[in-house]
Chains A and B, each alone.
Chain A
Amino acid sequence: MFRTLASGSEKIEIYLDGKPVPVPAGISVAAAMLQLGALPTRLTPVKRSPRAPFCMMGVCFECLIEIDGLANQPACQVEVQSGMRVRRQCGAGELAS
């Protein structure tokens, strides 16, 4: 569905729901999810309805996702890093124990 304008950028590896996947360096987690077609990116806490990145500028909070063990991160505001562990949330975020 999505295609990048820039070509040949450097690839790094992140973990999506525990599986290693290659993504271009320098893009946001939300952009990576869209490129990978990894949708929906979460299910809402009350009605479990599917959600995906929407505004891509940090205001709509639709793209909340767990990153490196911390729930409810705005995926569009966080740049992918090598080895980053990204996990899609089903419902409210889990509390770190």
Chain B
Amino acid sequence: MGTVYDTIIVGGGLVGAALACGIAARGRLVAVVDGDDRDFRASRGNFGLVWVQGKGAGFPAYARWTAMAAKYWPDFECELRETTGIDFGFRQNGGYDFCLDQVEWVARSEEMSLVQQHTRGEFEYEMLDNTELKRRIPQVSGDVFGASYSDHDGHVNPLYLLRALHQRMQKLGCRYYPNQRVISTRPKNGSFIVKTSSDRYQAKQIVLCAGLDNQRLAHELGMHIPVHPIRGQLLITERVESFLPCASLPVRQTMEGTLQIGNSHENVGFDDSTTLDVITRLAARAVRIFPHLSGVRLVRAWGALRVMTPDGVPIYHRSAHYPGAYAISCHSGVTLTSLHAGVVADWVCDDAIDALIAEFSAERFDVSNTSLRV
């Protein structure tokens, strides 16, 4: 205790670390108070996509927000790579999302069209039939109906990205405090006191980026941030020769040749274990899309908990009761990194009014407002 920071960020995952980089780059003194290695950490278990396809089909601002994130990624990546010397494998050369049957294809097509409308045509995409898809990726099965494709999509190695953000934020002067369990976040005379299991921190501003713990921590600061866990299981194969030209779902190939298979969604509470039935289903779907993978061995599988809001759209919330208190919750920590280190940091630093960010306030979940949105 003693130091009064400009900003305390609670949570050192992809969201908190990116925001810390952005705020520290604007000359502020930042403390990042992070949890334990054994906490639920979406940032250490995710798929690694920079993904625009289908995001915000039912929420126009989210579609525009995601398209903006993808547009800012190349410059953001270049700066982060050059300042840290860490190549986190960013490739933004398109993405395929495979549709096994016509029903999936039609539903996808409608989603993509909505995203295009919401972004006023900025988001461009193609719906491919099997013939065109096989022309581009010959290993695709003849049984796959088709795929959606977008140039805006890409992927990274999410663990290297997290490491690069941590290195960058510390180079920019952020103080990093790991293994802290936050007990309380209390407003006091225009500043905030964060009490942890081992210490106390004080700052003029506080931003909650604590994933699934945001709901608990926000309460004391007069904010209602509804989040719940949605488990995804993820399979890792041995390294195989490269055959996928770019990012793809639900099978993606890393730059080292490893295949990642995922995209399961399970509402099972705070349980990040793996289950044989989901592993089997994921593997079977991958082999239906790419029959030549049937002999490939799995080397690892894990479960991770997505941070989900009731409508699946991020929350950027500023406390009405306590100026200087903010909460950020999203499940697209990779895709939105370029904004979190940029315009979101501006929004926090300048306490500015941003019409687009204002659309993501958690006020949309207040009972009196829920009839306005579906």
Contact = CB atoms under 8 A, between A and B. Distances in A.
A95 B238 contact: no
A9 interface: no
A25 B242 CA distance: 36
B171 interface: no
B178 to A, nearest CB: 30
A97 interface: yes
Interface stretch (B215-223, B272-280, B290-298, B334-342): B290-298
B88 to A, nearest CB: 14
A93 interface: yes
A96 to B, nearest CB: 5
Chain A contact residues: helix, strand, loop or mixed = loop
* Chain A, interface residues (CB within 8 Å), range: 10 to 19
A37 interface: no
B239 to A, nearest CB: 4
B292 A93 contact: no
Contacts of B255: 46
Nearest to A94: B241
A92 B292 contact: no
B240 interface: yes
B240 A92 contact: yes
A93 B295 contact: no
Contact of A45 (B257, B293, B296, B297): B257
Contacts of B292: 95-97
Contacts of A97: 292
A91 B238 contact: no
Given A45-B257, A70-B295, A72-B297, A93 B243 contact: no
A93 B256 contact: no
Interface in A58-97: 70-72, 91-97
A97 B290 CA distance: 11
B290 to A, nearest CB: 9
Contacts of A46: 255-257
A92 B243 contact: no
Interface of B: 238-243, 255-257, 292-293, 295-297
Interface of A: 45-46, 70-72, 91-97
Given A45-B239, A96-B295, 10 more contacts: A46-B256, A70-B295, A91-B241, A91-B257, A92-B239, A92-B240, A92-B241, A92-B242, A93-B241, A95-B292
